[in-house]
Amino acid sequence: MQDHQDAFHEWAKIYGDVMPLKVLGKSLVVLSSEAAAIDLLEKRGAKYSDRPSIPMMELLEWDKLLVFIPYGKEFQASRRLFQDQLSKKQCTSYHDRIVGHARTMAEKIKGEPSAYEKHIQYFVTSVIADVTYGHQVSGADDQHVHISNFVIEFSDTIGTQGANLLDIFPFLKHLPAWVPGAWFIRYAQGTITIVGMSYVLLTSHFNSETSTEYKKLETACFEEVRREVAADTATPSFVSNHLKNMLEKDDPNIDDILRLKRSGLHFYSAGIETLLTVISTFLFTMLRHPEVQKKAQEEIESVLGKDRLPDFSDRASLPYVEAVLQETMRWHPPSPLAIPHKVTSDDSYRNVFIPKGSTVIANVRSMTLDEKTWHNPREFIPERYLPSPLGQGEPFAKGIFGFGRRACPGKYLAEGTVWIVVVTILAGFDIRPVQDEFGEDVIPPLRFITSITSRPAPFECRLVPRIS
């Protein structure tokens, strides 16, 4: 089946970068250029920052998670929590701790190369647990590892089971056959939602014990930090920094406290799978482009020598590694259709009438294939970003983390986290293909699993240590 984002891309070529559609009588607008997304989602952000309504979300009690909150006061209060503690400057204060986790990851992979995926996931979980709660993950039995497994298993299920939704909701069979990426359109229209799906999947694939565990952990993590803050022993983190500020007030507001408690575990649902998606695409592209891998390793060696692993102070001196990361996210955007926005009042743009209530989709996948901005956009070419004469001086893609007032508040944390993984693996390991029974290299084909995020279909590789 053709991916919905590719279908939108083909349509955009015919109908243009502002494409109004009617699906089941509802209005949908697909934006397929950065210019249109910036004009509407950013410059007219006051109108374009709502989310399509999501029935059934109460069932999971997810309706108060920032990503689903309608535009308004509660959204602003929740959003402020994330923005205050995830600014570029604030994220820099976590860099040393993130580097420490990356070094541990490198050691673990060296000791057990065949389990590299497990160790990368452990690293991502350690970063999220540390930044969110100041919690140091203590081994495979740590509750935070269980939650991380839960989130991954859940996303995998959504990714691989999307096509089976017609079995769960037979009435959807009546949708016109031409609707591209059928389940996503239904999601965007609110006739079926990711949360609706989640509910079905939760009840059908996960026992209630697991979801109760998720709720229990939310309380346990929060209460642990609350005790540490009271005893003045808390490590600075998203929750402890906010809690300290709130408790300094004479009469902390209960709504603020509950909002903060809810926000903590949102880091796991919003961050873990997205981070792993980018890391997986990076390994995938390195297998397919050994010449790029070699060039990035040569750059690292020329700056750091062979004896030490990189840290964030090296980032500006490694433009090719930066280009590899940015090209990874442009070449295969981790969130190809971002998350739909909704318009709160009638509008018109370039002679297209956009009625109040329309769902607006930023077609990031199509944007990153713009031939006017990137030459051979379907090719993986990190050099494109380097200034002339080394490259073409092409710009980084803008929409990877969304647009406007709903753009990803975890962007700086995410970029830093994936950068340290990319540079640590390149410095410490050769990423090599596995061999088949005839001794031939197995290069993974271009196959992807797409739901809200899109990542390569499972593939194998070997991480071979390069330095002692």
Q: From 419, 119, 78, select the one nearest 258 (Cα to Cα).
A: 78
Backbone dihedral angles phi then psi of residue 29, each to the nearest 5 degrees: -125, 125
Task: List the one residue from 21, 30, 91, 270 that touches ligand HEM (CB under 6 A).
Answer: 270
Q: Which of 382, 410, 428, 456 binds ligand HEM (CB under 6 A)?
A: 410
Q: At what angle do helices 116-133 and 95-111 cross, to 10 degrees?
A: 160
- Can you tell me the distance from the alpha carbon of 295 to that of 139, in angstroms, rounded to the nearest whole number? 35
Measured from the CB atom, is 48 or 429 closer to ligand HEM?
48
Asked if 52 and 191 count as a contact pair (C-beta separation under 8 A), the reply is: no
Please tell me whether residue 102 binds ligand HEM under the rule CB under 6 A: no
Residue 413 is a binding residue for ligand HEM (CB under 6 A): yes
Q: Among 18, 19, 28, 66, indicate the residue that binds ligand HEM (CB under 6 A).
A: 66
Residues 237, 225 contacting (CB under 8 angstroms): yes
Rg over CA atoms, the chain: 22
Binding-site member from 159, 264, 402, 433 for ligand HEM (CB under 6 A): 402
CB of 93 to ligand HEM, least distance (A): 15
Cα dihedral sign for 441, 457, 205, 261? positive
| Position among 67, 166, 200, 467 found at the interface with ligand HEM (CB under 6 A) | 67
| Per-residue burial over 152-182, b = 16 or more CB atoms within 10 Å of its CB, e = otherwise | bebbebbbebbeebeeeeeebeebeeebbbb
Please state the closest distance from residue 460 (CB atom) to ligand HEM, in A.
23
DSSP 3-state of 392: coil
- Establish if 266 lies at the interface with ligand HEM (CB under 6 A): yes
Q: Strands 352-354 and 347-349, how do they pair?
A: antiparallel
Strand partners, 432: 462
Beta carbons of 368 and 374 less than 8 angstroms apart: yes
Residue 40 as a binder of ligand HEM (CB under 6 A): the answer is no
Minimum separation from the CB atom of position 40 to ligand HEM (A): 11
Q: Which residues contact 168 (CB under 8 A, 6 or more apart)?
A: 200, 204
Does position 267 bind ligand HEM by CB under 6 A? yes
Number of residues that bind ligand HEM (CB under 6 A): 28
Q: Is 81 in the site for ligand HEM (CB under 6 A)?
A: no
Q: x/- binding map, residues 274-313, to ligand HEM, per CB under 6 A?
A: xx--x-----------------------------------
Q: Which of 284, 320, 403, 419 binds ligand HEM (CB under 6 A)?
A: 403
Q: Is 461 annotated as a binding residue?
A: no
Q: Is 401 in the site for ligand HEM (CB under 6 A)?
A: yes
Q: How far apart are CA 276 and CA 232, in angstroms?
A: 34
Residue tagged 């990877």 (tokens): 400
Identity of the residue, 110 or 133, whose beta carbon is nearer to ligand HEM in the bound complex: 133
Q: Looking at beta carbons only, is 328 or 433 nearer to ligand HEM?
A: 328
C-alpha to C-alpha distances, 56 to 63, 199, 236, 415, nearest whole angstrom: 9, 8, 36, 33
Q: Which stretch binds ligand HEM (CB under 6 A): 87-95, 160-168, 413-421, 458-466?
A: 413-421
Is 71 an interacting residue with respect to ligand HEM (CB under 6 A)? Answer: no
* Closer to ligand HEM by Cβ: residue 159 or 271: 271
Q: Give the Cβ contact number of residue 186 at 10 Å.
A: 21
Cβ atoms within 10 A of the Cβ of 302, count? 11
Q: Cβ of residue 230: shortest distance to ligand HEM, in angstroms? A: 25
Among 106, 202, 339, 425, binds ligand HEM (CB under 6 A): 339
Least distance (Å) between residue 207 CB and ligand HEM: 27
Site membership for ligand HEM, residue 82 (CB under 6 A): yes
Binding residues for heme: 408
Which chain residues interact with ligand HEM by CB under 6 A? 66-67, 79, 82, 266-267, 270-271, 274-275, 278, 334-335, 338-339, 341, 400-403, 406-410, 413-414, 418
